[in-house]
Amino acid sequence: MTSLFPDLLRAVITDVMLILLLSTMATPKYKSKAVYIFATAIILVGNISANYYFYLTGNYTAVFYVDLAMLMVIGIALKPLFADKIMQWCFSYITMLNIYAVVVFLSYILCDIFPRPIYGNAYLRLILFSVIVGVFHKWVSKPYRKVLDYWHIYMLPIVSLLACLLGYFFGGDIEEMLIYNGIPLMLLILLGLSVYISIIHSLKTITKQYAMREENQKMQTERDYLHLAADNMTQRLKLMEEVAIQNSRAAHDRRHFNNMLLELLEHGESGEAAALLQKETADAPKVSKIYCENPAVNAAVCHYAGLAQQAGIDAEIELDIPVELTVDSLELSMVVSNLLENAIQACEKLPEGARRYLRFTCRNMGRLLLEMENPCAADVTLAENGYPASQEIGHGFGTKSVIAFAKQHDGELLYKLEQGIFRVRLLV
C-alpha cells in the first residue's frame, strides 16, 4: 500500500484540482458548497477505484486512458450543476482537457528537479494547477463569465489543439511517447498558450464592448425619460392654462350676470330677474359624462371619448378610479390619454369595412388594473422586449411614457398582440 501512495496522491491532487479549475471557469448553479464537495468525492472514489488495478501493475498508459474516460463522464455528469450555456460549457470542458494534457506532460518531464522524483510528479501537478486556477480566478474569470455569445468562434482552435495534444499521448506506451515527443510537445504548448492569450484578450475586448453598449443604452433611456418628462410637463402646463382660461372666462361672465341681476332687483323688476335666472339655467352647458370619480382622469377620458365618437369608433369604457390615488392623478391622466390616443390612432389605420372599437376598463383592487383593447393593422408588431415596435421615426413617445410611468411606480405592464387584437394591461 505504501508503494501506491505516490500514485494515489497524484490521482487525488489531479481530480480535486480539475474540479476546482472547472468550478472557477464555469458558473455554479447552487450556492451550497456541499453539492460540489459531494460530487468531487464521488469522482475521487470512482477514479481511484477504476485505476487501482493499473496502479498495482504500473500500467500508466491504461491509467491515462481511464482518466481520460473519467473526464468524459465528468463533462456530462457535472453539467447540471452549472448554469453556463452549452457552448460556454463545452469551451470550459475542452479547455480543462487541454490543461490536463499539458500538466500531465510537464509534470512528467520536470519531476526530476525534485529531490524525490517519485513525489515530484504530484508536487508539480499541485503547483501547475494552482497557478492556472489562480491566474484564471484573478484575471480571466470576470470577463469570461460575462460573455454569453460568440463561444462557437473559439471552439475550432481549442478543439484542434486538443486533437494535436492527444495525438502525442496515443500510439504506444505513454512514458515513451512523452519522452520521444518532448520538443514537439513543448512547441505545441507554446502555440496553445498563444491561442488562449489571444482568446482571453478577445474576451476582454468583447466585455468592454458589452459595457459600452449597456452604457449607451442607459444614456439613450435617460434621454428618452427626459424627453418624456418635458413632454408631460408641456401637457400639464397646457391643461393648467386651459383650465385657468375657462375659470377666468366663467368668472368674467358670472360677474356681468350678477351685475345685471343686481340691477334688475334694485329697480324692483323681480319678474325679469326670475326670467333671466331661468334662461341662464336653461342655457347652462350639459355636464360631461362621468366615467370615474377622479376629475383629472375623467376629463382626459371625456376628451378622447369625444374624439373616438367623431372618428366613428365605438368606445366601451368602464372605469373604477377613485378621487384619492396612490399615484399622481395628473400623471395617471396622461397615461390614460396616451392609451386612448394610441387606440384611436390604431383604429383609424384599419382598412375600410373593419370594425373600429376600443374597450377601456379599470378595476380598483387596492391597486389599479387598467386594460385597453382595440383592433390594429396587420403591420403592428411587438419588439423583442415585449413592447410595441415604433413603425415611424419620431413616434412611439406615448408608449415610452406609459413604460416610464410603470417603471417609476413599480407597476406591471404587459402588451399582447393576438389575431389582430392589441391589448395593454397596466397594474399600478
For 5-55, the pLDDT digits (tens) are 888 899 999 989 998 998 888 888 888 888 888 888 998 898 888 888 888
Phi and psi angles of residue 427, each rounded to the nearest 5 degrees, phi first = -115, 115
In single-letter form, the type of residue at position 378 comes to A
CB atoms within 10 A of CB 175: 12
Indicate yes or no: pTM above 0.85. Answer: no
C-alpha cell at 424: 395593454
Q: How many CB atoms lie within 10 A of CB 57?
A: 9
Of 189-198, 385-394, 416-425, the least confident: 385-394
Residues 132-189 have pLDDT tens digits of: 999 988 888 877 877 777 788 899 999 999 999 998 888 788 888 888 899 999 999 9
Instruction: Rounding to the nearest 10 degrees, give the CA dihedral for residues 401, 406, 407, 411.
Output: 180
Compute the distance between CA of residue 133 and CA of residue 140 in angstroms, rounded to an integer. 10
Q: If you ran DSSP here, which 8-state letter would residue 375 be given?
A: E
